[in-house]
Each structure stands twice: as C-alpha cells, then as structure tokens.
Homo-oligomer: A and B are copies of this chain.
Amino acid sequence: MQTPEKSKRGRPRDANARKNILAAAAALLDEGGIGAVTMEAIAARAGVGKPTIYREWPNAQAVAMTAFLETAEPAPQGPRARSPLEALRRQLRKVAGVFATRAGRNTAMMIAAAQNDSELAKVFRNHFILKSREEGRTLLAAAIAARELRKDIDVETALDLIYAPLYFRLLIGHGPLDAAFTDGLLELALKGLAARRSA
C-alpha cells in the first residue's frame, strides 16, 4: 500500500523469493486450480517460509491473483486489420481463443475468487477488466471515427454488449465459445435485433 518512509534498515526483501512464490502459485493454479493454491503448498514449492508470503499478501488467493495478473501477458498484436470493424472481429476471436485455454479457466477462477473478497475483486477489476475494456474502447472509438459504428452509442454499454457474452459462456459453459459464436455475436450486435419497420 504505502512505501513512503523507506526505513531502509535491515535486510531488504529478497526479490528472488517473490519470483519463486509467484512461480509456485502459478504452477499450482495451473495444476490443481484455485483450490490447490494454499499457503502451505506455495511455501513448500517455492522453498520459502510462510511468513515471507504473508509479509506481502494477505491470503493465498491474493497470491494467486498476483500470479495470474503477472502471467496474463498482453496478447501479441496480430497483423494490421483492413478496417476497425475487422480488428474488432479479430479481437473477439482472440479473446474466445484465450478463454478456451487454461488461461480461460484461470480467468474464471479469478472471477470466482473475487466474489468472496472485495479487495480481490477491486484488484481484478482494475488490473484485468479495465485493461481489457480499454483495448475494446479503443477499437470502438476507431470504428466510430471510421463511421462504421453509429456515433451516438454509449460506449460502456456497447462494451458490455459485445464482451459480456464471452465471459458469460466462459463462466456458465452453456454453449460453445468459438469463432462462429463471436462472429455471429458481433454481426447480431451490429445489425440489431429489431425488425426494420420501413421496408
């Protein structure tokens, strides 16, 4: 939280320990899910004392969250798209692709973990969701600028409209989460559900 006074006396934190802890937590998360990420297991695996972990994190899920966030590398940019809308389509496909991997399961587990810990929820929102929405917001803005999207839309609502279904399928698993879905979803969102009155 704060590091203002920099007491500076005594042995400094061991940067290596932090790295080992997060690596252990990430490995445990991948191997056995959030339930396998226990303080005991992290400490044992990282070759670290439990107090060393508690010095920096309040509980095991917080370590898992940090490990998750530091592992979730920014997606590599694909080839330039020929239009903003095309870029948006590709972005949705990419997200669906990630959600289909272990990273997707981890994301779901982090959302789950956040339900029981408001501090965790805040961290997840600020470091994962907001970042992801920022990307989407940029894409939408570009599409609006290119007159591919209506300029009067509420961007926040539009973001939910487009991205929420991906998270929903990730979390509920009631339907496939593939390119066919994201393409259909985007098309529907673009055209709208309403019947054309004129005609």
Contact = CB atoms under 8 A, between A and B. Distances in A.
Contacts of A147: 195
A158 B181 CA distance: 11
Interface in A100-118: 108-109, 111-116
A76 interface: no
A185 B161 contact: yes
Interface size class of A (residues with CB under 8 A): 35 or more
A5 interface: no
Count of identical protomers in the assembly: 4
A127 interface: no
A178 to B, nearest CB: 12
A167 B55 CA distance: 35
Interface string A123-151: 01100011001000000000000011111
- Residue among A115, A154, A169 with max Cβ neighbours from chain B (10 Å): A115
Contacts of A112: 111-113, 115-116
A56 to B, nearest CB: 20
Contact of A153 (B151, B165, B168, B188): B188
A171 interface: yes
A190 interface: yes
B160 A161 contact: no
A153 B191 CA distance: 10
Nearest to A199: B198
A179 interface: no
Interface of A: 33-35, 108-109, 111-116, 121, 124-125, 129-130, 133, 147-151, 153-154, 156-158, 160-161, 163-165, 167-169, 171-175, 181, 184-185, 188-196
Given A129-B172, A153-B193, A157-B181, 12 more contacts: A33-B116, A34-B115, A109-B115, A111-B112, A124-B172, A150-B196, A154-B184, A154-B188, A161-B165, A167-B171, A192-B193, A192-B194
